[in-house]
Amino acid sequence: MKKKKNLPLYEHIEITGIAAEGKAITRIDDMVLFVPYCVPGDIVDIQVTRKKHSFMEGRVERIVKPSPVRCEPVCKHYGECGGCKWQILPYEEQLRHKQQQIVDNLTRIGKVELPEISPILGSKHIYEYRNKLEFTCSDRKWLSWDVIRAAGGMENVDNSYGLGFHIPNCFDKVLDIRECHLMPEINNRIRNTVRDFARQHGITFYNEHAHEGQLRTLILRSNHKGEIMLIVVWADDPYMPLMAHLQEQFPEIISLLYVVNRKFNDTIGDQEVHVYAGQDHIMEQMENLQFKVGPKSFYQTNTEQAYELYKVAREFAGLTGNELVFDLYTGTGTIANFVAHQARQVIGIEYVPEAIEDAKINAQINKLDNTLFFAGDMKDILNEDFIAQYGHPDVIITDPPRAGMHEDVINTILFAEPQRIVYVSCNPATQARDLSMLDCKYRVVKVQPVDMFPHTHHVENVVLLEKR
């Protein structure tokens, strides 16, 4: 049996900065030490939990002296659920660190000539800004050691009926959430009503190990009008009195759906969705455009800030009405449809077939006859033959996943030689990598960071490239 290392406890250590993934950082004897749930200026005692040759990881045992910039978190679940880690950092400081993240990635990884980077666009709302949340049902809720100790032992604690978020990196541990400030208050009332009703009527929650139990997940979506879609995911035949109760209690739910998922994993992309009451979708609006959002649709989770992001992308595209535009990684065609009125034609490409069907429907709803959409792997569809058939684009808008663009896609873009490229990214590190590959033919003209997710380290960035 391998002997467990005795890892050190460091006392009275000052936190000096923010590192990747939103963790705080300090140095001990020239070795980097990463610590969550801290802010620069905190004086803390740190218990090392992992030690490698070049870095260490640890947890805070005691806050000796809080930083002058530290603020109180709003959520009572802070520090346990793993989300909204930057609640203890004032929003202005969050934006400053995100701006610096963009600068660091573009300069250190991209190594391309840059213009002055525009100040980050902050989110108008820093709480209740999401339009979608998913909660997991578990027959056993996760409890911290502090809770167990306070109760005098596990035997004195009721750990049944957990309904909330997964503990980070633990598929089978669910923190029971009583309040969440990411969506309007009604999401708390719906979730807590489901838990209370299930407990009163003996509806069992799912066990990930035994694959037993009735209720698996709740998915809530809302639109700008406050209308709600609720998807109740069952592991077995649904208990209809719960569905009836939800319909009666919450008139805001205009789309009440259910799924029976008997698979071992909890994804519903390949499962049939049943309408219990109302319609099978909700509608979202952006300017004069309507977007149909179904239970499986992708839609930016911060609606208001998505509008600001898309306005930046449209402005950077510089459309006059005569351009052929390629919208790569188009999703449900939100950007494609958003810019279509200012373009001659827009062609959207996306990997997920269902998303492309949504894109076509949204184009029809908005009476857009100058859009074409294609489903398939980007590197397979976007090639020289495709360009020969549909024409060389004047503008390319690309919004890839966090992994960035495949090298084959970048090479095809270089072959196509559009006058302008608008690169929207949710990961400035992979964006910087891709910019360095495009640098041979394109120069960066504008950079606009946009904050879509307050209280997290995530940041969006829009870059305009012009042909040299």
Show which residues are catalytic. 426
- Which residues, 6 or more positions from 343, have their beta carbon under 8 angstroms from its beta carbon? 319, 321, 323, 324, 325, 370, 395
| Distance from C-alpha of 410 to C-alpha of 436, rounded to nearest angstrom | 11
DSSP 212: B
Backbone region of residue 224 per phi and psi (left: phi > 0; alpha: psi in -120 to 50; beta: other values): alpha
Measured in Å, how far apart are the chain's first and last C-alpha atoms?
A: 62
CB within 8 A of 18, min separation 6: which ones? 24, 25, 39, 40, 97, 457
Distance from C-alpha of 458 to C-alpha of 20, rounded to nearest angstrom: 10
Residue 378: both structure tokens together: 């980007």
Closest of 159, 152, 258, 273 to residue 205, by C-alpha: 159
Of 404, 402, 401, 430, the C-alpha closest to 105 is 430
What per-residue string of b and e applies to 222-253 under the rule 16 or more CB within 10 Å gives b?
bbeeebbbbbbbbbeebbeebbeebeeebeeb
Cα atoms in the 13 Å half-sphere on the side-chain side of 146:
3
